[in-house]
Amino acid sequence: MAASSTDHFLSTYARVIFSEWQALARWAMEYTAAPNTSLDESVAPFSLLSQTQIEDTLRGPLSAFFQQKLTAFAGLQRMQLEHNIQNEPFKWTKYNSRQSEFPAQWLDQVLPNHVQELQQQLNEMAQQHYQQWQAFHQEWTEAIIQELKALGHVLTDMEIQDVRDIEVPSRLINRFTELNLPLPKTKKLTATWHSYLTLRTSLVIHSELSRTQKSNTFTEVEKVMKNLKNIFASLEKAENQLYTGQNNEIQHLLGGLMTANNY
């Protein structure tokens, strides 16, 4: 799937922030690495991130997590710059007449003393949020596996692992092309856990139907997926609730910062 101009802009913007926020870059590396791949802890993660990995990060099921954190970090950086502009009248004279996008009380009270503290708190919060999404992924993949078993589907160990493993969009979509299967209709293709796990589960069902010498057409796969409608509806609701809760935590930490920035 070719990257759009918007994808390219976002990935370029993300690359700048990944270079400054190494923890976020490491999570992107973990997320886009091939299954059972260990990362070299001695190498700065950003230096290993390829353009494709960054684009996969922003198109996959954790895209909301990464974009949320990129926005927050960028906001802190813009506030730091704004504070510098406001407090360097001789150096920034030509900018002084412009209207600041940040409330004056923010610049007076939060900066310059608290930027590093806020960044540290954001880093700790992002770590917690990343772990919550890891737990979310594990919980719902296991729920899908158990639901398939309850419906009478007998999955091999490889098929079960196929549900559990993370696979980046570029590889996942290629598998549909290789199998000559149309992509299931989802709201955001691979950019939410709901849509991403819909694709992965469809591939596992196709594998099981093929292995058991049953009709494995897209229509037959869709019939099985319809039996999973309730569990995927619950998954989507839980995903929205977790994202909203994390967003509220960041808003509480940074106040109106994220809404003040139009990213």
Does 14 fall in a domain?
Answer: no
* Domain presence at residue 50: no
pLDDT per position as a tens digit, 30-47: 888 766 666 565 555 566
Measured CA to CA, the distance from residue 89 to residue 74 in angstroms comes to 23
What's the confidence (pLDDT) of residue 260? 43
Name the pLDDT band for 119 (thresholds 50, 70, 90): confident
- Cβ atoms of 73 and 17 within 8 Å: the answer is yes
Q: Rounded CA gap, 5 and 2, in Å? A: 10
| pLDDT on residue 234 | 98
Residue 26 lies in a domain: no
For residue 259, being part of any structural domain is answered with yes
Is pTM, for the whole model, over 0.85? no
Judge whether 167 and 200 are in contact, CB under 8 Å.
Answer: yes
Q: What is the dihedral of CA 111, 114, 116, 121, to 10 degrees?
A: -130
In a domain, 142, yes or no: yes
Domain coverage including residue 87: 62-263
Q: Above pLDDT 90, what percent of the chain?
A: 48
Query: Tens of pLDDT along 192-208?
Result: 999 999 999 999 999 99
- Predicted confidence at residue 261, as pLDDT, reads 44
21 domain residue, yes or no: no
How many domains in the chain?
1
Assess if residue 54 is contained within a domain: no
Mean pLDDT, range 67-72, rounded to an integer: 91
User: Is position 106 within any domain?
Assistant: yes
- For residue range 172-189, what is the model confidence (pLDDT) as tens digits? 999 999 999 998 877 677
204-226 pLDDT, tens per residue? Answer: 999 999 999 999 999 999 999 99
Tokens of 30: 């973990």
Q: How many CB atoms lie within 10 A of CB 102?
A: 20
